[in-house]
């Protein structure tokens, strides 16, 4: 006997009449069992066709056993005592909040064999900004005669520097050490005797002082003038996968300068094994030490580019030198209008690596300085300075 049930749905007046039975109808088929069996069969078929890549699962699910080419992941290397000590110091320096001085300055570090041919140009650049910068000069061969009051008595104790040798890195560290003695120095710029400014002082100061990272050139070069210079004598601390290359002309924040001075472990690896003749190679320490070091200890803290322009289009051991007839407003305008950094690998492919120049995540011109300018370009640069630095 059937009964009628009334269930209210929606409004009060709406009724849905459903009829039911006292007895449940007999199920025709156990469908859920069929679905479950089908899924199990598909799983086993897939396990047979595509063996799993774990040893335990391999024996459970694969009817063919573990006859495939698979290697377990390499175990994490245990750090040496020296590495642990070094990384503890570096970690604490990086984790210490930067203390902004009330009179924050940019330290300009000039690495030169003798006289500074563009001292008059730099004098014009610095004029009117006293108290916002400091100057340090490492003259490795001859003591320069200065024409600008900003350079008088600014030489530090210097030693001989040989291109391509660890003595170049030693000179950089010597400049940093002297500049770090002044707590107001918050950003450090390495410059050569052939460098010139591309913008006015305020632009350069703000670009550097308010950047959230250091501008250290760094890229991976698989060719003979990159990874081809690596020596396994650097193991275990420096592995090939971490070996990097870059131009030596850096700018760095105070925390990074402190880290460079605190490092002895990684520096010693490059001092001993990145030099001419090791394993029959010609490793150039100043092109590899800092890029590799910062790639290993603080890769997110560097921009992987330099803010000093140089022209390698001639594909020689040294970059192009600008002579007097080369210097024009258009040349300087073109350099200051570059928004992409470029690296070229030294292998047969000569791969060109391009990336946008970012400043705190915002696209900005790449370069603040440029080299290599010959001394006879000074007059042209002085005449053009007010025009091209306002570009």
Centroid of chain to Cα 328: 32
Structure tokens at 366: 């790449």
- Cβ proximity of 357 and 366 under 8 Å: yes
Structure tokens at 102: 């009330």
**Inside any domain, residue 25:** no
* Residue-number span of the structural domain to which 87 is assigned: 81-389
User: Model-level pTM?
Assistant: 0.80
pLDDT (tens digit, 9 = 90+) per residue, 347-384? 999 999 999 999 999 999 999 999 999 999 999 999 99
**Inside any domain, residue 75:** no
Choose among 181, 131, 188: nearest CA to 157. Answer: 181
pLDDT (tens digit, 9 = 90+) per residue, 245-292? 999 999 999 999 999 999 999 999 999 999 998 988 999 999 999 999
pLDDT of residue 48: 55
H or E stretch including 189?
A: strand 185-192
**Inside any domain, residue 15:** no
Instruction: Specify the number of domains making up the chain.
Output: 1
**Inside any domain, residue 61:** no
Kindly indicate the confidence band of residue 108, based on its pLDDT and cuts at 50, 70 and 90: very high
**Inside any domain, residue 52:** no
Kindly indicate the confidence band of residue 31, based on its pLDDT and cuts at 50, 70 and 90: confident
Using CA of residue 281, residue 172, residue 250, residue 124, what is the dihedral sign? negative
| Sheet arrangement for strand 369-370 | 196-197, 369-370, 308-309
pLDDT of residue 275: 93
**Inside any domain, residue 290:** yes
Of 74-78, 82-86, 349-353, 357-361, where does mean pLDDT reach its minimum?
74-78
**Inside any domain, residue 66:** no
Strand partners, 252: 188
- As a whole number of angstroms, the distance between CA 34 and CA 40 comes to 10
**Inside any domain, residue 76:** no
Alpha helices in 183-328 (DSSP H): 201-209, 254-262, 265-273, 285-297
- 124 to 343, 382, 383: CA distances (angstroms): 32, 8, 11
- Cβ proximity of 12 and 21 under 8 Å: no
- As a whole number of angstroms, the distance between CA 172 and CA 333 comes to 30
Mean pLDDT of 183-191: 97
């Amino acid at each position: 006997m059937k009964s009628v049930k009334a269930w209210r749905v929606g409004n009060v007046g709406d009724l849905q009449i459903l009829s039911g039975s006292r007895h449940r109808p007999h199920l025709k088929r156990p469908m859920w069992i069929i679905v479950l069996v089908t899924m199990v069969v598909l799983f086993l078929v897939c396990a047979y066709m595509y063996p799993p890549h774990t040893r335990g699962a391999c024996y459970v699910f694969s009817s063919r056993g573990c006859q495939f080419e698979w290697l377990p992941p390499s175990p994490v290397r245990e750090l040496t005592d020296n590495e642990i000590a070094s990384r503890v110091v570096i970690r604490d320096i990086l984790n210490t909040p930067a203390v902004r001085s009330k009179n924050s300055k940019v330290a300009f570090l000039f690495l030169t064999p003798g006289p500074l041919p563009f001292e008059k140009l730099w004098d014009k650049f610095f004029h009117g900004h006293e108290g916002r910068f400091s100057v340090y000069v490492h003259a490795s061969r001859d003591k320069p005669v200065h024409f600008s009051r900003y350079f008088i008595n600014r030489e530090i104790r210097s030693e001989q520097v040989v291109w391509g040798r660890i003595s170049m890195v030693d000179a950089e560290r010597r400049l940093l050490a002297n500049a770090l003695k002044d707590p107001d120095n918050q950003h450090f710029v390495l410059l050569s005797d052939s460098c010139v400014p591309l913008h006015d002082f305020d632009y350069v100061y703000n670009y550097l002082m308010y950047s959230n990272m250091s501008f250290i050139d760094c890229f991976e070069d698989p060719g003979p003038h990159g990874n081809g210079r690596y020596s396994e004598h650097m193991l275990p601390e420096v592995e090939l996968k971490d070996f990097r290359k870059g131009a030596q002309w850096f700018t760095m924040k105070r925390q990074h300068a402190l880290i460079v001075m605190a490092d002895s472990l990684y520096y010693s690896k490059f001092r001993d094994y990145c030099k001419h003749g090791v394993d029959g190679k010609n490793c150039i320490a100043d092109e590899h030490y800092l890029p590799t070091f910062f790639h290993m200890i603080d890769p997110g803290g560097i921009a992987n580019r330099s803010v000093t322009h140089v022209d390698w289009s001639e594909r020689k051991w040294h970059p192009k030198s600008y002579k007097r007839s080369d210097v024009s407003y258009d040349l300087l305008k073109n350099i200051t209008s570059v928004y992409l950094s470029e690296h070229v690998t030294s292998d047969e492919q000569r791969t060109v690596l391009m990336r946008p120049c970012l400043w705190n995540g915002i696209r900005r011109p790449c370069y603040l300085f440029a080299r290599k300018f010959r001394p006879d370009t000074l007059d042209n640069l002085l005449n053009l300075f007010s025009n091209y630095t306002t570009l």
